Chain A
Amino acid sequence: MILLAFLAQTLRIAIPYLLAAAGGVISERSGLIALTLEGYMLGGAFTAVWASYYSGSPWAGVAAAVAGGAVLALIYAVSAIRFRADQVVAGIAINLFAIGLTRYLLRLFFDSSSNSPRVAGFTVQGSGTGFGALLVNPLVWLGILVIPATAWLLYRTPFGLRVRAVGEHPTAAASVGVPVARVRYLAVLLSGMLAGLGGAYLALDQHQFTDGMTAGRGFIALAATIFGRWDPVRAGLACLLFAAAETLQIQLQGSQALPSQFVEMIPYVLTIVALAGVVGRAVAPAALGKTAIE
């Protein structure tokens, strides 16, 4: 029973990571650095609550989160692809933009600097934290399915082949007629939508938007993307690993066995270790981050 509760809690924490990391893998495989996941998630979380609040339907919230993530992704894509802005700078700007704008809109629509009013969401509050309560939430299913779906998209479809081609060798892809810019736009938009869904899950699960509620989760998803070596399935497993560590920390909270700060570090330390190549070097897509250079 304890194990079951542990697994349910892990899955609950992992869902937004899985959605955002799937987006991260797609974006980075196409050659665009996914520093922006945090911003997409935050934007998605806000638009989800905003639309749910005014329509009364969580489905409208989900749709709005997809749109919100996509709009931010479009700004990023236009800056990095059309205008060849440095991806790191543009990515940081998008994140700052998302933080600032959600704060501003929180004041504008809900006259608060900390949180929105409560919205319905998919789960009934007080229905427990077990699997039963979890699996009535369609976003949980989406989070579970997104990893195999992304793997299928990348490795089994023409679009996926093109994404991988433009991320590894854009000139070679272009020479055989792949519309490089268009593929990259689509990949970035898709990553914005997926990360936006991750934000929607967070906000609807907590039944409200709170200022800065993603709290670095987008960067954990980015860490999972890299630690999973840009492969959807490995990235998904990394998400589950990071979520399990968090769950363990929550369960051990009373015992003081391990300070929470050290558990927080786990995803980041593992990512650095992976990048340094101590256990199996993580090698990025060859054209990652290089859309912008003359």
Chain B
Amino acid sequence: MSAPDPTLMPVGDVPAPAAASITRPGASRRTQLEEAVLPPLVALLLAAVVGDVLILTFGQSPGAVYRLLLDGTWGNAYGFGQVLYKATTLVFTGLAVALGLRAGLFNIGAESQLAAGGFCAALIGLVLPAGFPALLCLPVYILAAAIGGGAVGAVPGVLKARFGAHEVIVTIMLNFIVLALLNYLTSTRLHVPDTLHTAEIRSGRLPRLADLWPAFQGSAANVVIVLAILAMVGLWWFLFRTRRGFELRAVGLQPHAAEYGGIDVGGVTWRALALSGAIAGIGGLNYVLGYKHYYEEGFATGAGFLGIAVALVGRSHPLGIGLAALLFATLSQGGLAVNALVPKQMVDVLQAVVILAVATSVPEVRRLLRMRRGGGDR
């Protein structure tokens, strides 16, 4: 065998797998940038090729389809508004997943944490009286959504810290459990007859962007997008400018070293997952406060899983996550725009291709870059 067998590298004491999706500290700025930017580019290229094949099998011209996709998303205010609305939710789930990744933890539960956050916010909305002061409303809703999502996130965190239960499996299983529970509560106790949603909240609705710029008329984009931007800034500050954030990243990069350095690894673990869940939960406000004003079953189906894609493509950096959220939101909305020419399901395939291509090219790009530098550090 000429090259060393890649399957043999992993054994022994290794950093948590999630750390592989984060640009390594220590490398030069240029290398860091290349390692961050190349995989998404490779992924987009591959997605374009797969997209061409799918479009051609349907007997359409790729150029026309891609043009329609762009026209229907960034080409008019309504489409762009829809992109912004979808990106808002994805920023929250993406940040949630990224926070976990920074701590070396894989939170697959954003799907149910988002739903739980939206559910708790809608529940509070049923309790708050109509005249409740608007200034107090938002903090109450944010708290409710954060508690809802955070509680769901804390469960795998505590199980991991206390019993070493693998958070990937626990969060997946918890998705099914929480969604079934919310389904039960909604369908038997809280729903408006003949619908799958709760009654509308009475106070604290947030204005849509269309109320400020009439061009956005009809689109769901609303001022929760401001919260999303604040969350991006806040998470950046937390991760890179606070002690707690440093401890979290230390645990993600090398848990044993972190423990040796006096960091409470178990505590960081469960707090990271609880905070991750809370961020995902706040994402539920985009729908409940900004768009429909009630909790509806399946209001954000898929947004949790796409959050994983967003965190991955955005390299777990708040700025990257913002851009990746726009990319995936564009694809989602673009699918609807091209549906007349090709099945909108095409974009589901493309999203999966992007995820798979980024996942496969991250280690490969790093290896090639290192080889080019003469295999310096390992």
Contacts and interface: CB of A to CB of B under 8 A. Distances in A.
A54 interface: no
B262 to A, nearest CB: 25
Contact of A268 (B163, B165, B176, B358): B176
Contact of B363 (A94, A261, A268, A294): A294
A85 B354 CA distance: 13
A82 B6 contact: yes
B127 to A, nearest CB: 24
A50 to B, nearest CB: 14
Interface string B342-360: 0101111111110110111
Contacts of B177: 265, 268-269, 272
B10 interface: yes
Interface stretch (A3-11, A57-65, A96-104): A96-104
Interface in B50-84: 54, 57-58
A100 B352 contact: yes
Given A85-B356, A113-B343, A271-B169, A100 B351 contact: yes
Contacts, number: 186
A234 interface: no
Given A89-B21, A216-B176, A293-B10, 14 more contacts: A75-B356, A83-B360, A84-B363, A93-B359, A96-B305, A100-B347, A101-B352, A104-B343, A170-B11, A181-B7, A261-B180, A262-B184, A271-B173, A290-B11
Given A88-B168, A100-B352, A262-B180, A272 B5 contact: no
B159 interface: yes
A174 B21 CA distance: 27
B20 interface: yes
B312 A89 contact: yes
Contacts of B231: none
B41 interface: no
Contacts of A145: none
Interface of A: 33, 35, 75, 79, 81-90, 92-94, 96-97, 99-101, 103-104, 106-108, 113, 166, 169-171, 174, 180-181, 184, 216, 219, 222-223, 226, 259, 261-262, 264-265, 268-269, 271-272, 275-277, 281, 284, 287, 289-294
B105 to A, nearest CB: 11
Given A268-B176, A272-B170, A276-B159, A85 B8 contact: no
Nearest to A278: B163
Contact of B165 (A94, A169, A275, A290): A275
A74 B360 CA distance: 14
Contacts of A97: 349, 352-353, 356
A284 B166 CA distance: 9
Given A85-B362, A89-B312, A104 B10 contact: no
A187 to B, nearest CB: 12
The 10 A-B residue pairs with the shortest CB-CB distance, nearest first, are: A100-B348, A97-B352, A103-B345, A93-B356, A268-B173, A107-B343, A100-B349, A96-B352, A261-B184, A275-B165
12 contacts: A33-B168, A79-B360, A83-B364, A84-B364, A85-B356, A85-B362, A89-B356, A103-B345, A170-B11, A293-B9, A294-B20, A294-B366
Interface string B299-324: 00000010010001000000000000
A7 B187 CA distance: 31
A102 B53 CA distance: 15
A290 B173 contact: no
Contacts of B7: 81, 166, 170, 180-181, 184, 291
A289 B14 CA distance: 12
A219 B305 contact: no
B361 A83 contact: yes
Contacts of B217: none
A89 B313 CA distance: 11
Among A89, A216, A268, chain B packs the most CB atoms within 10 A around the CB of A89
Interface string B141-176: 000000000000000000100110110111011101
Contacts of B33: none
Contacts of B361: 83
A290 B9 CA distance: 9
Contacts of B353: 93, 97
Nearest to A83: B360
A75 to B, nearest CB: 7
B176 A96 contact: no
Nearest to A282: B165
Contact of A276 (B11, B165, B349): B165
B17 interface: yes
B14 to A, nearest CB: 5
A272 B173 contact: yes
Contact of A90 (B10, B159, B360, B378): B360
Contacts of A101: 349, 352
